[in-house]
Amino acid sequence: MRYGHFDDEHREYVITRPDTPLPWINYLGTDAYFGIISNTAGGYSCYRDARLRRLTRYRYNGVPADSGGRYLYLRDNSSGEYWSPSWQPTQGDLDSYECRHGLSYTRISSTRHGVRAETLYFVPPGETLEVWRLRVRNERGEPADLSVFSSVEFCLWDAQDDATNFQRNYSTGEVEVDGGVIYHKTEYRERRDHFAYFACSEPLAGFDTQREEFLGAYRGWDRPLVVERGESANSVARGWAPHGSHHVRFLLAPGETREVIFLLGYWENPREAKFDPPGSAVLNKALVRPVIDRWLRPETVAEGFRRLRESWSSRLSVLQVKTPDEDTNRMVNIWNPYQCMVTFAMSRSVSLFESGISRGIGFRDSCQDLLGFVQLAPDRARARILDLAATQLASGGAYHQYQPLTKTGNDAVGSGFNDDPLWLVTGVAAYLKETGDETILDEPVPYADAADVRPPLYEHLERSLRYTLDRLGPHQLPLIGRADWNDCLNLNCFSAEPGQSFQTTENVAGGSAESVFIAGLFVLAAREFAMIAERRGQISEAACYRAEAEKMAGVVAEHGWDGAWFRRAYDHSGRAVGSASDDEGQIFIEPQGMCVMSGIGLHDGTAVRALDSVRERLATRHGIVLLQPAYTRYHLELGEISSYPPGYKENGSVFCHTNPWVMIAEAMAGRGDAAFGYYKRINPSAREQISDVHRCEPYVYAQMIAGPDAPACGEAKNSWLTGTAAWNLTAITQWILGIRAELDGLRVDPVLPAAWPGFIATRRFRGATYQISVRNPDRISGRVMHLEVDGRRIEGTLVPLAPSGAIVQVEAVVG
């Protein structure tokens, strides 16, 4: 069952009924000002940091989950009837409803009793404001006397305090209303230099800024007193809950349309020019007012929207493909890169599954996110890499998370997730391959705990590898620390009391548990680093790390191989985890994907054996589950993984992030049907038909899909902010379609499903455009035999770099 459809031409998903199984959201903003918006206009906004600079309020565990939002009410003044044109929060009957989620914008339209309303929500590129452009049209045969009421609830900036510190909050709220604009300025009188504003393009019939005056006591947003009455209270908030509402009233002739623009924005004044007059407590509006006036003009809004659309067209033109598979095309051309940009911007902070207050930018998460967006925004990738490297510690370890606004590491979580630093190497390698910009390696970057030393980035990479080599365990495998990629495999923390952190409770001496996964990742990272070192002429260093990679691969072969698959780890007491000798948790997906991706076992048959074991034991029709059999009881020595009921999250769900590793591994093994088969199982567009089972948005990946051990098998959760986005884009474009950036050229080495006759693609790479055509005349699921570049046959599959501006024709034949 579906709740809408794709409109590929406009790059939109069109939701045709408001009661989707869960709120289906979209993101506004691409630079610094961001928000989420659901298909019924729920959601909130923030500036750069969802915890420290929250503009509008969100109620945790609210029902429904998207309640609180960018709400508008229409009121028919002749009957007194009112409704929400976005359905929520009044949930009144609508004669028609449609929500179009596009790339960084959402348009919700509906009709009720001959009044059509269409609202476009977006953030203009480069601005720190969001536009709501409302168009109301009278489709009746007679004039309509209408009112529009807007409504937002302000957050008192620090979202954590806002949600908890009521004794203070109820007394600090302050606003000003001036020239029709509502200014929210809580704490501006003291240490904040920023404020929010909410403006409207039309003359106001009234306004409200005190929530309780707007809603009325004991009422919610579904029936605000002011709207019911048709008249604002012109309230000015002092303490309690600052709120913003405009009232606009107009008479529409039959067929007439009225456009009303609302702006919700963020502004920062220079500290020395905060007040007007100086020394008063009155906001200086001189700097922001021209911005407001400009954006209240319809032509500015139209132009801003055009620029937003264009910026996406240009970003997406980096890679466009035409394959025989519609689900592949729309994910690769539109939605998957879009999701990658969102995960880059938000890391794991803002969604309906991430509260925006608990996690900042994750080190390993962001390093992996780089893989999915480096080609879309190389400059921003560069800046992000340098920020991440600056949260590395002198030991080579890294803060697990940092706050985007302050860029300081989160002490509460600290470091000691021993895979973290290795991802920096893979992220930087991806950046170098895409851009060729080796200057980044010379950028001086401090360590978080030694700000006075600023070694070049290159040294950070080396130290990342050393960090692993300095921490080998009894089998010479890398020590796992608090956890590796699997945050829930906590082998050095025996948590027996509720409320203890599974990761950071320090109660086991020595921490001797080892990770086969990190071993695989080390081999991958060490080989990438060797390649980088070689480019810099560091020949002996390159050789050293190649040798270390070899050695580690040998250790994996000796201690990491279980007979038919790779083991996962050794626990604190030296017992193998992920072994046939156990009853539960016999096989884990992560080491199968990671070891094969790093090249281990590709030449001795173990890689293929491991992949066959994945197919036999882990593959389901909804994707590949993380482990089998799922843990049925809590294991003190394994930690959080066994805290989840079987089939959920790390305990045996289809943890989608890991599936592309297996797709890549299958492609490396030359098995295109298997790789693509796995790809289709979790491709959200391919699951659209079962939206009632899947329940999350059909246009983006979710972190997990419940596995067969769970009662709700096939149900997705944690949509949007997941490493799944970057890895799936990598798997399908770089390994199945086989188009991948390398230091010296563009690799074209597809491993296709046998049924495909071929595909075409356009790839912009280092200033040149490659028009690629792949044919598969014999319908095989194998590799390219030869390439022709501009009509000339070349050796191998690496298309050499072309001069900037060149258009290069690449013909590839499989078989």
What is the contact surface with ligand GLC in residues (CB under 6 A)? 348, 362, 364-365, 485-488, 640, 649-650, 657, 703, 722-723
Q: Do 660 and 731 contact (CB within 8 A), yes or no?
A: yes
578 versus 672: smaller Cβ distance to ligand GLC: 578
**Cα angle 203, 204, 210; round to 5:** 150
Contacts of 242 (CB under 8 A, 6+ apart): 153, 154, 156, 173, 174, 175, 184, 186, 209, 210, 211
Q: Nearer Cβ to ligand GLC, position 42 or 639? A: 639
Two structure tokens written together for 382: 């560069």
Tokens 């704490």 belong to 187
Cβ closer to ligand GLC: 482 or 681? Answer: 482
CB burial string 426-438: b at 16+ within 10 A, e below: bbbbbbbbbbbee
152 and 71 Cβ atoms separated by less than 8 Å: yes
* Tokens standing for residue 347: 């890391």
Question: What secondary structure does DSSP assign to 608-669, as a single string?
Answer: HHHHHHHHHHTEETTEE-SEESPP-S--TTTGGGGGSPTTBTTBTSEEGGGHHHHHHHHHHT
- Smaller CB separation from ligand GLC, 482 or 622: 482
498: buried, middle or exposed (CB in 10 Å: 19+, 13-18, 0-12)?
exposed
The edge-to-edge listing of strands for the beta sheet with 745-748 is 739-742, 745-748, 798-800
The smaller minimum CB distance to ligand GLC, of residues 595 and 741, is found at 595
Q: How far is the CB of 361 from ligand GLC (least distance, A)?
A: 11
Q: Which residues are CB-contacts of 415 (< 8 A; sequence separation ≥ 6)?
A: 393, 397, 398, 399, 400, 409
For residue 655, the minimal CB distance to ligand GLC (Å) is 7
C-alpha dihedral sign at 678, 679, 684, 689: negative
Of the pair 121, 417, the CB lying nearest ligand GLC is at 417
Token duo for residue 669? 């093994």
Q: Quickly list DSSP for 781-804.
A: SS-EEEEEETTEEESSSEEEP--T
CB of 365 to ligand GLC, least distance (A): 5
158, 208, 369, 487: the active-site residue: 487
Say what angle helices 378-389 and 457-469 make with each other, to 10 degrees: 50
CB of 372 to ligand GLC, least distance (A): 14
The minimum distance between CB 423 and ligand GLC, in angstroms, equals: 10
What is the C-alpha to C-alpha distance for residues 659 and 681, in angstroms, rounded to an integer?
A: 10
Q: CA-CA distance, 65 to 644, in Å (whole number)? A: 22
Q: How far is the CB of 710 from ligand GLC (least distance, A)?
A: 14
Q: Which residue of the chain is nearest ligand GLC when measured via CB?
A: 487
> Minimum CB separation from ligand GLC for residue 650, in Å?
5
Closest approach, Cβ 798 to ligand GLC, in A, equals 32
Which secondary-structure segment (H or E) carries 164?
helix 159-164
User: In whole angstroms, how close is the CB of 667 to ligand GLC at the nearest point?
Assistant: 22
Three-state helix/strand/coil letters over 264-307: EEEEECCHHHCECCCCCCCECCCCHHHHHHHHCCHHHHHHHHHH
Nearer to ligand GLC, 42 or 362 (CB): 362
CB of residue 626 vs ligand GLC: minimum separation in angstroms? 9
Task: Compute the least distance from the CB of residue 641 to ligand GLC, in Å.
Answer: 8
Please state the closest distance from residue 400 (CB atom) to ligand GLC, in A: 8
803 contacts 768 by C-beta, under 8 angstroms: yes
Whether residue 377 contacts residue 344, with contact meaning beta carbons closer than 8 Å, is answered with: yes
Q: How far apart are CA 323 and CA 606, in angstroms?
A: 32
419 is annotated as an active-site residue:
no
Question: Could you check whether the bond before residue 629 is cis, i.e. omega within 30 degrees of 0?
Answer: yes
Q: What is the DSSP string of 130-141?
A: EEEEEEEEE-SS
Computed on alpha carbons and rounded to an integer, the radius of gyration of the chain in Å comes to 28
Distance of closest approach, residue 54 Cβ to ligand GLC, in angstroms: 21
Residue 400 or 763 having the CB closest to ligand GLC: 400
Cβ closer to ligand GLC: 13 or 727? 727
| Two structure tokens written together for 351 | 């969604």
Nearer to ligand GLC, 107 or 649 (CB): 649
Amino acid at 116: R
Choose between 153 and 640: whose C-beta lies nearer to ligand GLC.
640
DSSP secondary structure string, 455-474? -BHHHHHHHHHHHHHT-B-T
Which uninterrupted H or E stretch holds 213?
Answer: helix 211-215
End-to-end CA distance of the chain: 39
Going 373 to 374 to 380 to 382, the CA torsion angle's sign is: positive
Q: Which of 47, 615, 597 is nearest to 349 (CA)?
A: 47
Answer whether 348's CB lies under 8 Å from 718's CB: no
The DSSP letter of residue 451 is: T
CB-wise, 517 or 770, nearer to ligand GLC? Answer: 517
**Given the complex with ligand GLC, which of 266 and 701 has the nearer CB atom?**
701
* Catalytic residue list: 487
